Amino acid sequence: MCSQFLSIVIPSYNSCQNLKNIIEELLCHNDLQLFEIIVIDGKSEDDSLLILQKYKEHITFLSESDNGIYHAMNKGIHLAKNEWILFLGTDDKLNSDLDLKKLAIRLNSYTRNIIAVCGNIVYDTGEKFISYINKDLFFKNTIHHQSAFYRREELINSGGFSSTFKILGDFDLNQRLFIKKKKINNKVIFINELIAICGSQGVSKKAKWRMRWERLSLIKSFPLYIKHKINTGFLNT
């Protein structure tokens, strides 16, 4: 029998209805016994705390002021009890058909040098996002946190998310985890599984100028990226 292996961390602020929905959906998952639910609430002013109190027997939660989404995620990392962590927003949904028993066996079989296992997501608009990693990561985020199971130990060792970023903290984290000495490392494994259905109205969709500024600040080794694109013919079409 598989034991609990996963911590699902959910940052939340003034999103009581979505918060209620995601908690109830997770509690109905067929493999509920294999994960814990951790909600980090930013001291919401709506009915979020009432919802958290209602489900307190089934979840772990913290409600206090924070410095944004990624600060909340870092709190979740330190509260997590399991080896692997998945981050979901309140408007996201874990794929109800995802076989967590098989996933647990698979993740537990990997050696400790594997620091992340990534699948795919689909937005509630139907748009798909397939995770991958290559030199594109110098220029854009190719792994969204809703598709990635991160090893908790590595998140702690890396310092977790930077709260400097309000939108692209996962882009920054992925660069720090997977780009070493201007080279892509091979510490991530990709699986052809749909992990989550993601909301299309998150903060990244509402603050596009902020996102563009953060993206520009994160572009690393831009000349190397351009050289790669020229060599692959991308810029010649």
Q: Please give the pLDDT value at position 47.
A: 97
Q: Please give the pLDDT value at position 12.
A: 97
* In the predicted structure, residue 237 carries a pLDDT above the cut 50: no
Lowest mean pLDDT among 26-40, 59-73, 102-116, 170-184: 170-184
Token pair, residue 217, equals: 């600040």
Query: Residue 43 is inside which H or E element, if any?
Result: none
Q: Is residue 40 within 8 Å of residue 75, measured between CB atoms? A: yes
Question: What DSSP letter does each residue of 140-197 carry, written as one string?
Answer: S--S-GGGEEEEHHHHHHHT---TT-SS-HHHHHHHHHHEETTEE-S-EEEEEEEEEE
Domains, the chain, in order of start with CATH, read 6-236 (3.90.550.10)
What is the pLDDT averaged over residues 52-66? 97
Kindly indicate the confidence band of residue 1, based on its pLDDT and cuts at 50, 70 and 90: low
Radius of gyration of the chain (CA): 18
Q: What is the DSSP letter of 8?
A: E
What is the pLDDT averaged over residues 163-185? 85
- Positive or negative, the CA dihedral 185, 189, 193, 199 is negative
Which residue in 17, 22, 104 sits closest to 59, CA to CA? 22
Token pair, residue 232, equals: 């692959």
- In percent, the amount of the chain with pLDDT more than 70 equals 87
User: How high is the mean pLDDT of the chain?
Assistant: 88
Q: Please give the pLDDT value at position 236.
A: 36
Report pLDDT digits (tens) over 196-234: 999 976 655 556 667 777 777 777 544 554 455 545 444
- Alpha carbon distance 63, 49 (integer Å): 7
Report pLDDT digits (tens) over 120-156: 999 999 999 999 998 888 888 999 999 999 999 999 9
Indicate the residue type of 60. T
Q: Please give the pLDDT value at position 215.
A: 76
Q: Please give the pLDDT value at position 36.
A: 98
- In percent, the amount of the chain with pLDDT more than 90 equals 71
* In the predicted structure, residue 235 carries a pLDDT above the cut 50: no
Q: Is residue 224 within 8 Å of residue 138, measured between CB atoms? A: yes
Lowest mean pLDDT among 43-47, 61-65, 77-81, 168-172: 168-172
Residue 91 CA neighbour count, 13 Å, CB half = 15
Residue 193 CA neighbour count, 13 Å, CB half = 22
Chain centre distance of CA 162: 14
Q: Is residue 165 within 8 Å of residue 70, measured between CB atoms? A: yes
Token pair, residue 28, equals: 């109905």
Residue 237 neighbours by CB distance under 10 Å? 4
* In the predicted structure, residue 101 carries a pLDDT above the cut 70: yes
